[in-house]
Each structure stands twice: as C-alpha cells, then as structure tokens.
C-alpha cells in the first residue's frame, strides 16, 4: 500500500480588517484681516494776504472787517479804499482725509511804535481733501483807534492744518 | 496490496473584507480575524478670528517710504519713516477650538499684499505667531494665539489698506 502523503500547504490568510470608518477631523480655515491707514504729509501754502486796504481814520475808534470772501465793511467814521483780500491757503494731503484748520484768535499789526489788533476767522474749521487738495481763507476785523497814527501796519499769523 | 490514495482536500474558506462590503464568515480554524479598531473620533476643529492685525494710522515723515512692525507676542509697534496719528495698533488674535490636548498644525502665509482704496499696495511680511513649535489645544478645548507682521509702504502710497490673511489649522 502506497500512501501518498500530501503535504498540504496551508495558507493562512491573515485577514486584515480595513478600517476606513475613522472620523478624521478636517482642517479648519478662517480669514483674518490686516489693515492700515497711511497718509501723506500735509502741505500748507499761503496764496494771498489778509489785506484791509487804505483807511483814513477819524476822531472815533471804529473797525474795518474783511470777510473770508474778501469783501470789506468799512466802519463809521472811516474812509476805506484800495483793494482788499482775505488770506488764502491751499492744503495738500491724502484724498478723502479730513483735516482740521486753526488760526490764532487775533494778530497784531505794527507800524514802528504803533499797533492795531485784528481778530481772525477762518472760512472753515475742517476740510475734506479732494484730489489730494483743499483750501480755506481767513478774514478778520481790524480795530482802528481814534486818530490812529499814520503808517503801514503789518503783522503775521500762523495757520495750522492737521489730520483729524 | 492496495494502493490507497488519500486525498486530503483542505478547504480554506476565507474572505478579505473589501471597503464597503460585509465580511464573509469563514471556517478556517487557523485564521483569525483581527478586530477592527475604531479610529479615534476627534472633535471638529474651528477657527475664530477675534481681532484683525491693525497697523492703525500713520503719516509719512521725511520720506515717501517706511515700515510698521507689530510684534506678535507683545503687540508692540515699531515705526520707521512714519509717525503715529493715534489709535491703537493691534496684533491679530485667533481662537482655535478642538480636541483637548490634541496637537495641531497652524499655518499662516509669511507674506500678504494689502490694497488701498486709492489703488496703491503695501506688503505685510514676516508674519509670525506667538505659538510654540508644537502647539497643543488646551484642556478646555481652546487654543488662543496672536500674530504680527511688518507693513512696508513705498513710493508714497497712501489710503486705507486692507488684506486677508488665511489661518488654517489641522490635527497632526
């Protein structure tokens, strides 16, 4: 009797359980904002003087007013003549920016030892720049004393403009 | 004398489970089915932007270029070629929520471009966070961090500048 012995190769299969059901968390994204406001330097240029013209004084004190548009109001007892202008200024800066405008309350005009005082008023206290530019004017009211001494009276004042 | 052939027939019945299909019951005694371990289920991540990176308002000083840097950790601002015009400068702040104690990877771009309402552009570079090298979500499921960067403007560009910084978070 011949006995065949079969060697059976037993294949052992290792079962691999494929696990695909894991709930992996997904990446999360959000957009943050970065922002800045950058402004160019402000420039300010004087284009005209505050000019009260020629005044013949009287025996009583009076006033001469120049509006921000340059129109003159000659007080009683005075004789006024000559050209008048309001002080003019041009502003340079960033388009759309709002600037504040300030001038001193008054200015002293001097001729030798003699003085007069003029109060000042700007045409606006703020301005919004358009095409990188803006402008404003300054008028004032000059107080003329009784029998004010003759002379050429001159004074200076500083206008200030800043970003709001 | 008789030849006896013995045929041993071994029947192996096994099944390889395919994705999406049910496993077939097997009779192999030498086989073993490895238990299918369930993958860990992690809480979904979310990202909330609490504060924008705000360089505030500045004006050029004596030249038409300059830079503004905001430090991520302290929020401190450093200006070159600019003067501050008021208003606080702020580092960006982000809150991540997710699985407590889980390690995460946080990605922000190193550079973004801001565009102004007047058509100019400015670069924000050196974008950095105050996170440690291997950030971990806290026990309360939250991780808060801040980020800063350097804004550089050239050629006198001006206006209101805006840009987006995408913040991406994922589990390691």
Please write down the HEC assignment for all residues of chain A. Answer: CCECCCCCCCCCCCECCCCCCCCCCCCEEEEEEEEEEEECCCEEEEEECCECCEEECCCCCEEEEECCCCCEEECCCCEEECCCECEEEEEECCCCCEEEEECCCEEEEEECCEEEEEEEEECCCEEECECCEEEEEEEEEEEECCCCCCCCCECCCCCEEEEC
CATH number, domain of A110, equals: 2.60.40
Given a cut of 90, whether residue B22 has pLDDT beyond it is no
Given a cut of 70, whether residue B35 has pLDDT beyond it is no
| pLDDT (mean) for A66-91 | 97
pLDDT at B3: 42
Question: Domain total for chain A?
Answer: 1
Q: Which two tokens stand for residue A145?
A: 């004393």
Given a cut of 90, whether residue A9 has pLDDT beyond it is no
Report the distance separating Cα A107 and Cα A114, nearest Å: 14
Tell me whether strands B112-116 and B121-129 are parallel, antiparallel or unpaired. antiparallel
For B60-119, what is each residue's pLDDT tens digit? 997 899 999 999 999 999 999 999 998 899 999 999 999 999 999 999 999 999 999 999
Task: State the nearest Cα–Cα gap between B50 and chain A, in angstroms.
Answer: 9
For A41-71, what is each residue's pLDDT tens digit? 999 999 999 999 999 999 999 999 999 999 9
Residue A116 lies in a domain: yes
Q: Considering only CB atoms, which residues of chain A are within 8 Å of chain B?
A: 1-4, 6, 8, 10-42, 94-96, 163
Residue A10 lies in a domain: no
Residue of B17, B64, B162 lying closest to A18 (CB–CB)? B17
Q: Judge contact between A115 and A152, C-beta under 8 A.
A: no
User: What domain range includes position A131?
Assistant: 43-163
Residue A125 lies in a domain: yes
Chain pair A-B, CB pairs under 8 angstroms: 205
N- to C-terminal Cα separation, chain A: 116
Q: Which residue of A has its CA nearest to B120?
A: A38
Residue A30 lies in a domain: no
For A96-155, what is each residue's pLDDT tens digit? 999 999 999 999 999 999 999 999 999 999 999 999 999 999 999 999 999 999 999 999
DSSP state at residue B141: S
Confidence of residue B41 (pLDDT cuts 50, 70, 90): confident
Residue A118 lies in a domain: yes
CA distances from A11 to B6, B12, B14, B17, B154 (A): 20, 8, 10, 17, 74
Residue A5 lies in a domain: no
Q: Judge contact between A51 and A84, C-beta under 8 A.
A: yes
Residue A150 lies in a domain: yes
pLDDT at A26: 73
Report the distance separating Cα B44 and Cα B39, nearest Å: 14
Residue of A13, A23, A30 lying closest to B39 (CB–CB)? A23
pLDDT at B29: 66
Closest CA to A25 of B88, B11, B91, B40: B40
pLDDT at B37: 52
pLDDT at A140: 98
Residue A25 lies in a domain: no
Confidence of residue B40 (pLDDT cuts 50, 70, 90): low
Given a cut of 80, whether residue B27 has pLDDT beyond it is no
| pLDDT (mean) for A70-86 | 97
Given a cut of 60, whether residue B142 has pLDDT beyond it is yes
Given a cut of 70, whether residue B9 has pLDDT beyond it is no
Residue of A27, A33, A38 lying closest to B45 (CB–CB)? A27
DSSP state at residue B101: T
- A25 vs B42: CB contact, 8 Å cut-off? yes
């Amino acid at each position: 009797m011949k006995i065949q012995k079969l060697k059976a190769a037993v294949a052992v299969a290792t079962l691999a359980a494929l696990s695909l059901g894991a709930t992996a968390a997904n990446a999360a994204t959000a957009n943050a904002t970065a922002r800045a406001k950058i402004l160019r330097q402000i420039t300010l240029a004087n284009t005209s003087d505050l000019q009260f013209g020629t005044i013949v004084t009287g025996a009583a004190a009076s006033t001469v007013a120049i509006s921000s548009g340059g129109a003159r109001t000659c007080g009683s007892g005075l004789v006024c003549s000559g050209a008048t202008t309001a002080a003019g200024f041009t502003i340079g800066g960033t388009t759309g920016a709002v600037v504040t405008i300030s001038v001193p309350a008054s200015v002293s005009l001097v001729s030798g030892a003699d003085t007069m005082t003029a109060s000042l008023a700007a045409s606006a206290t703020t301005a919004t720049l358009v095409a990188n530019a803006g402008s404003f004017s300054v008028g004032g009211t000059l107080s003329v004393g009784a029998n004010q001494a003759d002379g050429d009276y001159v004074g200076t004042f500083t206008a200030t403009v800043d970003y709001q | 004398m008789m030849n006896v052939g013995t045929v041993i027939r071994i029947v192996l019945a096994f099944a390889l489970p395919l994705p999406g299909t049910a496993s077939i019951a097997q009779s192999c005694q030498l086989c073993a089915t490895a238990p299918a371990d369930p993958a860990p289920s992690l809480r979904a991540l979310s990202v909330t932007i609490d504060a924008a990176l705000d360089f505030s308002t500045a004006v050029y000083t004596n030249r038409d270029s300059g830079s503004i840097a905001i430090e991520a950790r302290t929020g401190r601002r450093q200006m070159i070629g600019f003067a501050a015009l008021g208003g606080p400068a702020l580092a960006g702040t982000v809150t991540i929520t997710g699985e407590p104690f889980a390690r995460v990877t946080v990605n922000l771009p190193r550079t973004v471009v801001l565009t102004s309402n007047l058509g100019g552009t400015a670069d924000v570079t050196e974008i950095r966070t105050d996170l440690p090298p291997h950030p971990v979500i806290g026990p309360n499921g939250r991780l808060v961090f801040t980020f800063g960067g350097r804004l550089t403007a050239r050629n006198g560009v001006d206006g209101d500048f805006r840009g987006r910084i995408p913040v991406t978070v994922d589990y390691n």
